[in-house]
Amino acid sequence: MFVTPEGERILIVDGHTHLWDGRPSNWRNDYGRTFIDTFWGGHVGFTPADKRWTQEQFRYYGAEKAARDLFVDGYCDAAIMLPVDLRDFYNDGFNTTEQCSELKALFPERVVLNGRIDPREGSRGLARLEKDHDRFGFKGVKLYTGEWNGISRGYRLSDDFVKPYLEKCRELGISIVHVHKGPTTHPLDYDAFDVRDVDHVATSFPDLKFVVDHCGMPRIDDFCAVAGQEPNVYGGLALVTSFIRARPRHFKTMLIELLWGVGPDRLIFGSDYAITSPDWIIDAFMAFELDEADTTEAGHALDLEAKRKILGLNAAKLYGLDVDALMNLPPVDLSASEASRHAAE
């Protein structure tokens, strides 16, 4: 939990988390290495030196460490998990729904497990979505438009084969669609993450909510142009907030743009765990301030009310989470599971 120096309790929902397997034994080819190594570069570049992991630990950390980093050390009351398969690079998938379900099984009351869809999979993928939804009961799904699939190196949300998947989500009662639109990761193609196709589906499916993860960065202005006209488009701040320590002036520029173009009611905090962990980001964000001139330019104050919304209340509202119930959960205790693991070793 997070408590301000004045004793005020702040709800924290990490809107962008993973449980991946980037170990060499899971690499299907050398792209498995280059993909996780790009993530590793981000971890080293963003994370304070005294909080960096070893590279071996970064490649595979497991559900218990994730629980500790998020719910014990990371202030989080809840975490939203966003799977992506990447089976062209990883034998058993990189960050699959099945892998992410391990954390959900440990803390079902704290973890929101989303599904994943790849519209290029046709009828087979629709059947898989139905089967997975029957098992897990998704509120949302993740789309990764730059993911490789055979000879395809990405797609656009305006492609004809995307529509049946969004119609299936609507039919199943899945109302939240996360879309990765941000930095690329080797070997994925930069243009496959262009944010300018989001308005096509947002207009066509006004009853669905589209969370643009990473806010289209570095195309923040394009994202704001889309979200400014589409009220069902939200900004996922994963990686945006990671700049708060390494490049604070750049972070401030992005935040002002987002507050002006979208406003504080549709911005959702995310750490992009485990590229970065939430604890130091939240500490820095709570201490971060905009002066009078910056506030005027942003059109919104970054006051405690705005920070409450961004750090948790917006995600709770979007996902229908019970704020009082989350804030009154007992502290996470990992001692029993850790003792059992040590005994087995």
In DSSP terms, 2 is beta-bridged to: 10
Looking at the predicted structure, is the pLDDT value of residue 200 above 70?
Answer: yes
Q: What is the pLDDT of residue 1?
A: 85
pLDDT tens, 218-236?
Answer: 999 999 999 999 999 999 9
Residue 203 to residue 211: CA distance in whole angstroms: 14
DSSP H helices, 121-174, are 122-136, 163-172
Rounded to 5°, angle at Cα 235 from 234 and 237: 150
Looking at the predicted structure, is the pLDDT value of residue 103 above 90?
Answer: yes
- The two three-digit tokens of residue 73, written as one number: 């050390």
Residue 227 to residue 248: CA distance in whole angstroms: 24
Q: CB count, 10 Å around CB of 345?
A: 5
Q: Are 40 and 47 in contact (CB under 8 A)?
A: no
The percentage of the chain sitting over the pLDDT mark of 70, rounded to a whole number, equals: 97
The DSSP call for residue 311 is I
DSSP H helices, the chain, are 30-46, 55-59, 62-67, 97-106, 122-136, 163-172, 198-204, 220-229, 243-246, 248-261, 278-287, 292-298, 304-308, 314-319, 323-327, 335-344
What distance, in Å, lies between the first and last C-alpha atoms of the chain?
Answer: 31
DSSP H helices, 149-218, are 163-172, 198-204
Q: Which helix (H) or strand (E) holds 90?
A: none
pLDDT-based confidence at residue 339 (cuts at 50, 70, 90): very low
pLDDT tens, 279-331?
Answer: 999 999 999 999 999 999 999 999 999 999 999 999 999 999 999 999 999 99
Looking at the predicted structure, is the pLDDT value of residue 38 above 50?
Answer: yes
Residue 99 to residue 102: CA distance in whole angstroms: 6
Q: CB count, 10 Å around CB of 198?
A: 25
Torsion of CA 133, 137, 143, 144, to 10 degrees: -90
The DSSP call for residue 140 is E
Residue 66 to residue 273: CA distance in whole angstroms: 8
Q: CB count, 10 Å around CB of 147?
A: 23
Report in angstroms the alpha-carbon separations of 337 from 35, 63, 103, 129, 333. Answer: 31, 11, 13, 32, 9
pLDDT-based confidence at residue 336 (cuts at 50, 70, 90): low
Neighbouring residues of 135: CB distance < 8 A, sequence distance ≥ 6: none
The percentage of the chain sitting over the pLDDT mark of 90, rounded to a whole number, equals: 95
Q: What is the pLDDT of residue 334?
A: 87
Looking at the predicted structure, is the pLDDT value of residue 345 above 70?
Answer: no
Q: What is the mean pLDDT of residues 237-249?
A: 97
- Each domain of the chain, given as residue ranges in start order, spans 1-113+245-345, 141-236
Q: What is the pLDDT of residue 335?
A: 78
Specify the 3-state DSSP secondary structure of 141.
Answer: strand
- The two three-digit tokens of residue 164, written as one number: 């049946």
